[in-house]
A and B are shown apart, each in its own frame.
Chain A
Amino acid sequence: MPSLSVKHLLGIKDLSVEDIELVFSTADNFKDVLNRPIKKVPSLRDVTIANLFFENSTRTRLSFELAERRLSADVINFAASSSSVSKGETLIDTVNNILAMKVDIVVMRHPHAGAAQFLSKHVSASIVNAGDGAHEHPTQALLDAFSIREKLGEVKGKKIAIIGDILHSRVALSNIFCLQKLGAEVMVCGPTTLLPKYIASLGVQVETNLRKALEWCDVANMLRIQLERQDIRYFPSLREYIQLFGLNKEILDSLSKRITIMHPGPINRGVEITSEVADSAQSIILNQVENGVAIRMAVLYLLAGQVGK
């Protein structure tokens, strides 16, 4: 069996198409495991994994932790708010102290872009990036593409529109890399102020009209407006944003085809997406969450299984 070409999962950018396919086929098997009476396998019973979350997260942290426990790994959790980071310890010192307790894999979320990359150059453990600033969130992109593959059969040739706050979104960037590698067409859509200036250089289409984007796509991935990251006002009012970029039932029903709706969560109901749409049959939001565990199990299994790397 081929193994991953990388020792760490820092971003989708470093992965080959074969790597992504390998994660998917392994995740298929784990999804099967998750539907058994006993949803646990003993593969990683001699592996210790540290979850280092320097930034708040509910879904991703729970999903990783569940994946780790279902692989029988030993898990330690760390949240920056309750740690020595607030006492002025550097990232490398914090992590090396944790590694001295014989940890094999580090899953890290950090507010600064490149933190995972930086760490991978200074420590011996395998690093899994669980989101670094507005840079990448690779496991989210893998589970998004996996969910599209599950729903539509394949990713290749499909049209995916990523809609909303692209500027502050690591999910958008990872998704663009992942979907393009798998042969999909990608469009980003949002207010001009929330679209990065050079985003078109990644080979994506840029659209500022929600209806046009929806008419074009097979799948709409709605992103959350990250109010907590907005240092300045990017649009006049939330009400105006909802009117121009909010996805509701009327606009969805007026399209010429049935598109699939995704959202990486957490949802601001009534802002980027109405409750009616989020809970509709066209939405695969909860499938994404379910697939997240299988994808993370696959990533951890494949990284842990590398011998002598």
Chain B
Amino acid sequence: MQKRLLLNSTQFDITIKRLCYQLIEVHDDFSNTAIIGLQPRGVFVARRIVSSLCEILNLPKIMHGDLDVTFYRDDFRRREIIAPSETRVDFIIEDKNVILVDDVLFTGRTIRAGMDALLDFGRPRKVELLTLVDRRYSRHLPIEPDYIGISVDTITSEKVTVKWKEVDGEDGVWLV
């Protein structure tokens, strides 16, 4: 199938930067805000955003973690088992503003599982959702992102691939 480039590496970079400024507008100096990337691919978005934010705000660090939702999925026993990844949340979530981060928002089921997993760590003050790619009109659940990198209209048989310099050698978003 033909690949269509949605974001090249320059646009990718601009999008991440823009998302950072949008976050700063709401979260100011991030003193009571934590960024949590959903395993496996959301953690790349989260890390990139955290490092950009640190650079822009000249902060030594921002609270961030990785969250694995495997044990909270609603398709267990309905499809092959998915290998769990590491969860790393080494701060208190209680009363924090939490930004859940994922790479592609599609049916919303992963985010539902992510919220359940998150709430097992405590009661955040507010939870927001950031997604690099929003596949519109494909939701199975009433979930909408607060921050969107790029919105795309797709059909179910299509697949959105996000590549990362860190693991794939280049940044970019493709529609396959």
Contact = CB atoms under 8 A, between A and B. Distances in A.
Tell me if chain B binds chain A: yes
Interface of A: 1, 3, 25-26, 29, 32-33, 36-38, 40-44, 46-47, 71, 301-302, 304-307
Which range holds the interface residue count of chain B?
20 to 34
Nearest to B81: A305
B86 interface: yes
15 contacts: A1-B80, A25-B83, A29-B70, A33-B71, A33-B87, A36-B120, A38-B120, A38-B121, A41-B72, A42-B71, A43-B72, A43-B76, A47-B77, A302-B81, A305-B76
A44 B72 CA distance: 10
A121 B78 CA distance: 25
Interface string B64-81: 000010111100111111
Nearest to A104: B77
Interface SS majority for chain A: loop
Contacts of B167: none
Given A38-B120, A42-B72, A3 B77 contact: no
B81 A29 contact: no
Give the most central of B71, B73, B78, B116: most A CB within 10 Å.
B71
B84 A307 contact: no
Most chain A CB within a 10 A radius of its CB, from B68, B79, B81, B122: B81
Given A3-B80, A29-B68, A38-B121, 6 more contacts: A1-B82, A26-B84, A37-B121, A304-B76, A304-B77, A305-B77
A307 B78 contact: yes
A301 to B, nearest CB: 8
Contacts of A46: 77
A1 B82 CA distance: 5
A305 B68 CA distance: 17
A7 to B, nearest CB: 14
B122 A37 contact: yes
